[in-house]
Amino acid sequence: MRRVKEKYREGNVRIPSGCAVSGIMNRQGKVFSGKEIIKSISLMRDRSNGLGGGFAAYGIYPQYKDHYAFHMLYERESCRAKTEKFFKDNFLVEKAELLPVSKVPSIKEPPSVWRYFLLPREDKYEELQLSQPGFIVRKVMEINSSIKGAYVASSGKDMGAFKGVGFPEDIGEFYNLEDYKGYLWTAHGRFPTNSPGWWGGAHPFTLLNWSVVHNGEISSYGTNLRYLEEFGYECTLQTDTEAAAYLFDLLIRRHKLPMEIACRVLAAPFWEEIDRLPEGPRKFFKNMRIIYGKALLNGPFSIILGCNEAMVAINDRIKLRPLVAAEKGAMLYVSSEEAAIIEVCSNPDKIWVPRGGEPVIGRIEEVEEKWVSAC
């Protein structure tokens, strides 16, 4: 894997609007095969260049839904040995196995890919005075920063990330995604510009149950990174998208912001827009911009966030990256291109282009009902 990382460096070719993102969700929680998301993302092959593809899937491990499912990428066997000792020291390991993969001619020098179903040891996280999720975050950061050649692809419950160096449809074939069934799928086809094309740097980027696929360039990455470090996060995977995933975790899980407000923090209204608002909203958004100024994402982007309860799509405030959404019954679709939606839903009930900074949020219906009643 390291040779792939060193061989393919960005900068030789640059495409200003490259990368493809796609997401499909059943809001009733009904599962469907991964072949649909592969079909959608593969239509946008021209938006990527083979240096990265990946998927996140939710609802795929119902038999282990209470365990944290770690998908791991290993460059060498020694990396696996160190990581498995780390797991035994900090977790109860329910199951450890090679993740099933197939030989695909275009996938060169893949790492060893394993999955683990884990429960944090109570004595360990209580000793650190951390919650279970906080403990998981701490341990993900430790693995990625201190065990050279080992990378956490995903660490959530009843979900997993499948990613690597290749076109997304080839990555889907490599991981046998047609054999999985989930109620929410996101996908990414990468055309990297400023960061390495390597297995750990492919999208999606994840933490706990959050996953992010992203088209664009976050020019505020340096500010965002330093802000995240104030809260104990470590960005080690050489891409701005990692920071976006951690910001969602910080704002929603730790600071308890509603998803809508978290999106308005990351893609905040311009000051002139805030000045035109009525007094109440004007004061609220002014305060949010002051409090969370270092969390603001600048630059062109379209992002799809997945979690166990929802799918969120949002792009930058002046819409420098494309984003299209559609609905068909209980299904919600978001993508870089309308054609990628029509490929899997030929006659949607509704199709629209969200405004810049305007989030598209789909919730599992049971969760949505609980959220409305809580309000």
Q: Is the pLDDT of residue 4 over 90?
A: no
Give the residue-averaged pLDDT of 300-325.
95
The yes-or-no answer on residue 375 being catalytic is no
Q: pTM for the full model?
A: 0.91
5 located within any domain: no
pLDDT band at 232 (very low <50, low <70, confident <90, very high): very high
Q: Is the pLDDT of residue 11 over 50?
A: no
Give the residue-averaged pLDDT of 339-348.
96
Note the pLDDT tens digit of each residue in 13-28. Answer: 545 457 899 999 999 9
94 located within any domain: yes
220 located within any domain: yes
334 located within any domain: yes
Q: What per-residue confidence (pLDDT) applies to 351? A: 97
8 located within any domain: no
Note the pLDDT tens digit of each residue in 62-91. Answer: 999 999 999 999 999 999 999 999 999 999
Give the residue-averaged pLDDT of 274-298.
95
Single out the catalytic residue among 19, 235, 307, 345. Answer: 19
Give the residue-averaged pLDDT of 180-196.
87
Q: Is the pLDDT of residue 58 over 90?
A: yes
For residue 53, what are the β-bridge partners? 164, 189
Domain that holds residue 279: 19-374
1 located within any domain: no
2 located within any domain: no
Q: What's the number of domains the chain is made of?
A: 1
CATH no. for residue 143? 3.60.20.10
148 located within any domain: yes
pLDDT band at 7 (very low <50, low <70, confident <90, very high): very low
Q: What per-residue confidence (pLDDT) applies to 371? A: 43
